[in-house]
Structure 1
Amino acid sequence: MSQSPSNPRVRVYVRQNCHLCEVALETIARLTTEAHTSYETVDIDADPALRAQWTDQVPVTFVDGVQHDFWRVDENRLRAALAAPGARS
């Protein structure tokens, strides 16, 4: 389930009927809950520019505004990024 916070730590670009997106979101939801932080999803098909930019790479994960992963979420890397010093809470 996606969240819609005003200032999410994690943003995930997704599209409908994307199996990799579903798998990534399960991991992201679990890890952001563990880290007591937030995430949001953005459907690239709702914006032609985003669809053109990311169509072959979804899901694309950003942490604190920096691209982190695409296609798959590396659980250990995401956990480390969410725990990194200086990360906003």
Structure 2
Amino acid sequence: MVDMPAPEPRVTLVGRAGCHLCDEAKLVIERVTAELGVAWAERSIDDDADLRARYADQIPVTLVDGRRHDFWRVDEDRLRAALGAPPR
């Protein structure tokens, strides 16, 4: 049996620990990506100087396919549409 590599995450949540908006965004992202079978990843601005310089005033930031999609809040239907699924 050959191990298949994990799929590249289509969604990335850029945030930081202790950010209540980040926690809310994470719940939406977890729900939508689980429903659609899409991989996602979480990155912290505290661990990456480049992300901190670009997004510190906008966290949480949601990236879809490497491009900024939303910041501060994640709209569930908009995220679903960006991932190719119809809104609920």
- Shorter-chain TM band: 0.7 to 0.9
Q: What percentage of aligned pairs have identical amino acids?
A: 52
Q: Who wins on radius of gyration, i.e. which is larger?
A: 2
Q: Given that residues 14 and 21 in structure 1 are in contact (C-alpha distance below 8 angstroms), is that contact kept between their aligned partners in structure 2?
A: yes
In structure 2, the residue matched to 1:43 is 44
In structure 1, the residue matched to 2:66 is 65
CA RMSD of aligned residues (A): 1.3
Structure 1 stretches lacking a partner, 5+ long: 85-89
Q: Which of the two has greater helix per residue? A: 1
Instruction: Number of aligned residue pairs: give it.
Output: 80
Runs of 4+ in structure 1 deviating by more than 6 angstroms, as ranges, are none
2:82 is equivalent to residue 81 of structure 1: yes
The separation in 2 between residues aligned to 1:14 and 1:49, in whole angstroms, is 13
The separation in 2 between residues aligned to 1:6 and 1:49, in whole angstroms, is 24
In structure 2, the residue matched to 1:87 is none
The separation in 1 between residues aligned to 2:54 and 2:12, in whole angstroms, is 15
Deviations 1:52-74 (A, max 9, x none): 22111001001111210000001
In structure 1, the residue matched to 2:26 is 25
SS at match of 2:46: helix
CA apart distance, 1:6: 5.1
